[in-house]
Chain A
Amino acid sequence: MSSRVDASSDGENQRDEEESPEKSIWLNAHLDPMACLYTFSTSISLADLNADSDYKLLVADLGTGTFDMKLKVFKGTSLYMESAIIDLPIALVSFYMDTNDPRTPAIAVASGPFIYVYKNLRPYFKFTLPPLSVNAVEQDLWNQAKEDKIDVHVLIEMLESLKNEGSEGMLSVRSLKLLSLQPEEVESFANVHKHTTLKRQTVITCMGTMKKSVADDDAVSCLVIGTESKDVYVLDPEAFTVLAKMSLPSVPVFISVNGLFDVEFRIVVACRDGKVYTLKRGSKMAKACIELAAQAVGLERTGKSIIVGCMDNTLQCYSTKGKKLWTVYLPSNILTMSLMDHKARGFKAVMVALSNGEVRIYKEKYLVNTIKMSDAVTALKFGRFGREDSALILITKGGGLFVKILKRTATFEGKDLTPGPPPAQSIKLNVPKKTKLFVDQTLRERDSASGMHRTFQHDLYLLRLMSARSYVSALQKSLNPISSSATEPLKLSAQVQGIGPAFKLTVNLQNISSSVPSSKLLITFQFDDSLYALSKPCIFVPLLVPGLMYAYETLVECISDKGISDVIKVFVLHQGNSIPVITAVINMPVSEALVIV
């Protein structure tokens, strides 16, 4: 009985291990792959909406991308409230707009030229961007159309040329709409609209918040918005008047705000011209501080550094002065970025969601954690959710909502994964001390360097000369075992068998020509006749068929008992010619003394 229980509990443990293969630092608190959310990091927020320290998740949902746009509020794992938004939401922030108790924050949703402000989850105020001045020529054209001085086609033609002059961004929405219409629709459109006054409105491209005069967590904040008209506005939180307006050379797309409006602030914006600009309190025009190699896809600030994710799969860090500090190369496209600010631990890092489904967490340039998701993540937010301080909200491309909670025991250890010199390079070698001999040699080398070089060169030339001479003599005497002559291409090898005093000498001969047979050859030997006696000092070789190997044997007897050996030279000769065709030199082994049994 007890053994059965043990076995099953073992099985249980194994299953647990399988479920958490890499000892993840995250707990999966909630998974809803079918949440059907379509949103981005700039459009989600976590806020204590009811001032009960049960933080809600706010999502500005893009719906289908054309309709069904909604503001959704999640309480824990369930949908708490939703409310329709008329146009596509661009950004969502929560902020405290007053000092009333209980401290309930307001929600601002930017959409087109409007900001919808919600208080206690009810629509509270709609802010409209101030209208822009209308192009004088455009105004004049519409006035003429109104008075029927020109017909619609002339109007379109004139507007078209105005647009082509490069002032497309300066035209009103009405003119742009007219230019985009089908020919059959233009007449009615112009007739309907020409009587109303012409207005030029821009749209919001990004939104952030900035504390007004105190830095408390629940201090009153201003809204900071970037617009298509290349402006940045700071709005008063209570009256919604424009507190400050600043201009940029290009259209802002990502905004990051630091500081207090009444004291000192710095707004960093990534623009559509691939540059990052900084705006300070009191400045009317932006200062370009970073020129990026590729378009920005995300911008975050931690302390004194600006971290930009770019379209060339890099994560780049710059100082506030614009000096590049580091670059991290990523394996795939960046979809979104977000700051991970774990206040309880004083841990700040940047989370980067990649198109391969990974969410990477970088502390400085060090990768400290990777979360692998089944689908690419488009919206990320780390913060307090429900009653949990370290919750991570992930919304995927397929619309799934995932909530992870950082384990209390989690630690972040970052290794530098960027290529560079291996660590072994910095290990000091145990170099022995310089000896006196070494020092003396070094001194001598230094003193007589030229003399040593000359001696070396001299010896080298001698060596070359000697080798050249012996090569020539070898060629002349045919001392090499392979005949290179065209008439008798032969190969010779010889071997000795036996331990002595009787040896057997085998000579292998091969005609290496492809077709010409060799004939009239004989093999002779040259040896010291006081040492050796050969049974066949001369062997007549019959016709050699090309390619075949012929073996000829002779017995060699060592007739000396002095225990010395000598060489035997083997010559292959052509009959009637005293210069050998080929030569082989055989080093005879020392003969064993004759043993008489």
Chain B
Amino acid sequence: MGIFDKLANFLRLKKKEINILCIGLDNSGKTTIINRLKPEKAQAQDIVPTVGFTVEKFMSQSLNFTVFDMSGQGRYRNLWEHYYKTAQAVIFVLDSSDRLRIVVAKEERGLPVLFFANKMDCKDSLSAVECTKKMGLDTIRDKPWHICASNALTGEGLPEGVAWLTGQLNS
């Protein structure tokens, strides 16, 4: 059973359809994370870097999952805003090993709620606390947010984030 199924189960009880938007700079590991969250049998083995942008939609029981993947050119980034309206929750994936572009991620922060400081296994990666500081998350006060370090290759850290998201949607 995929980790996300727990959330799906909860949502099915409520008979609610939900759109989750997964955004972040290119190569941050969105596709890998989404893949991890899918039911195990649907998980792909190889993930190739997304070029340009793709919108991936899949159903996980009652869950409507929308992945919006953007390229570093930023040409597509202004489209995010249009998808915010339809999304009940937003996952923002950070590449914690790309120190150079953390400022760009900060610029594009928007209104997400769950941050994954991904690639925590990379030797040069920033900790979740460092990411919080660099992203200026401590200044968000008008909406709930959460950050957790993750490794999309192994799935480490993902359950913690999903648990938090479930709790938020519950209340």
Q: A residues near B, CB below 8 A? A: 5, 9, 12, 16, 27-30, 53, 76-78, 344, 385-389, 391, 403, 405, 407-408
Tell me whether B103 and A27 are in contact (CB under 8 A): yes
Q: Which residues of A contact B57 (CB under 8 A)?
A: none
**B47 CB, nearest partner CB in chain A, Å:** 15
Smallest CB gap from A28: residue in B: B103
Tell me whether A386 and B124 are in contact (CB under 8 A): no
Do A76 and B98 contact each other (CB < 8 Å), given the known contacts A389-B72, A408-B74? Answer: yes
**A58 CB, nearest partner CB in chain B, Å:** 16
**B29 CB, nearest partner CB in chain A, Å:** 12
Complex Cα spacing A332 to B100, Å: 32
Tell me whether A27 and B72 are in contact (CB under 8 A): no
Tell me whether A388 and B139 are in contact (CB under 8 A): no
Smallest CB gap from A8: residue in B: B141
Smallest CB gap from A30: residue in B: B100
State which of B100, B107, B141 has its C-beta within 8 Å of the C-beta of A76: B100
B77 on the A face (CB < 8 A)? yes
Tell me whether A27 and B104 are in contact (CB under 8 A): yes
Smallest CB gap from A12: residue in B: B139
Q: Which residues of A contact B103 (CB under 8 A)?
A: 27-29, 405
Q: Which residues of A contact B75 (CB under 8 A)?
A: 344
B53-91 residues at the A interface, CB under 8 angstroms = 72-75, 77-78
Complex Cα spacing A403 to B107, Å: 16
B121 on the A face (CB < 8 A)? no
Tell me whether A387 and B73 are in contact (CB under 8 A): no
**A2 CB, nearest partner CB in chain B, Å:** 10
Tell me whether B25 and A407 are in contact (CB under 8 A): no
**B110 CB, nearest partner CB in chain A, Å:** 12
Interface of B is mostly: loop
Smallest CB gap from B51: residue in A: A53
Complex Cα spacing A9 to B143, Å: 13
Complex Cα spacing A5 to B25, Å: 31
Q: Which residues of B contact A76 (CB under 8 A)?
A: 98-100, 124
State which of A5, A16, A385, A388 has its C-beta within 8 Å of the C-beta of B141: A5
B27 on the A face (CB < 8 A)? yes
Tell me whether B107 and A408 are in contact (CB under 8 A): yes
Complex Cα spacing A27 to B99, Å: 13
For chain B, which range describes its interface: under 10, 10 to 19, 20 to 34, or 35 or more residues? 20 to 34
Proximity bits, B23-37, A CB within 8 Å = 1, else 0: 001110000000000
Q: Which residues of B contact A344 (CB under 8 A)?
A: 73, 75
Q: B residues near A, CB below 8 A? A: 25-27, 49, 72-75, 77-78, 98-104, 106-108, 124, 136, 139, 141
Q: Which residues of A contact B102 (CB under 8 A)?
A: 29
A-B pairs under 8 A by CB, number: 58
**B108 CB, nearest partner CB in chain A, Å:** 7
Do A387 and B99 contact each other (CB < 8 Å), given the known contacts A27-B104, A27-B107, A407-B107? Answer: no
**A490 CB, nearest partner CB in chain B, Å:** 87
**B10 CB, nearest partner CB in chain A, Å:** 31
Tell me whether B72 and A388 are in contact (CB under 8 A): yes
**B77 CB, nearest partner CB in chain A, Å:** 6
Complex Cα spacing A295 to B107, Å: 43
Q: Which residues of A contact B104 (CB under 8 A)?
A: 27, 29, 388, 405, 408
State which of A27, A78, A391, A407 has its C-beta within 8 Å of the C-beta of B124: A78
Q: Which 4 A-B pairs have the closest CB atoms?
A: A408-B74, A27-B103, A386-B100, A77-B99
**B71 CB, nearest partner CB in chain A, Å:** 9
Provide 16 A-B residue pairs closer than 8 Å at the C-beta atoms, listed in order of the A residue.
Answer: A16-B136, A16-B139, A27-B104, A28-B103, A29-B104, A76-B98, A77-B100, A344-B75, A385-B100, A386-B98, A388-B72, A388-B100, A403-B100, A408-B74, A408-B107, A408-B108
Complex Cα spacing A53 to B136, Å: 28
Smallest CB gap from A77: residue in B: B99
Tell me whether A29 and B73 are in contact (CB under 8 A): no
State which of B72, B78, B141 has its C-beta within 8 Å of the C-beta of A387: B72
Tell me whether A387 and B98 are in contact (CB under 8 A): yes
State which of B26, B101, B136 has its C-beta within 8 Å of the C-beta of A29: B101
Complex Cα spacing A9 to B136, Å: 12
State which of A12, A30, A387 has its C-beta within 8 Å of the C-beta of B26: A387
Complex Cα spacing A388 to B72, Å: 6
Smallest CB gap from A391: residue in B: B100
**A188 CB, nearest partner CB in chain B, Å:** 54
Do A30 and B99 contact each other (CB < 8 Å), given the known contacts A5-B141, A405-B104? Answer: yes
State which of A9, A16, A386 has its C-beta within 8 Å of the C-beta of B101: A386
Q: Which residues of B contact A29 (CB under 8 A)?
A: 100-104
Complex Cα spacing A389 to B101, Å: 11
Smallest CB gap from B124: residue in A: A78
A53, A387, A403, A405 — most chain B CB neighbours (10 Å): A387
A16, A385, A389 — most chain B CB neighbours (10 Å): A389
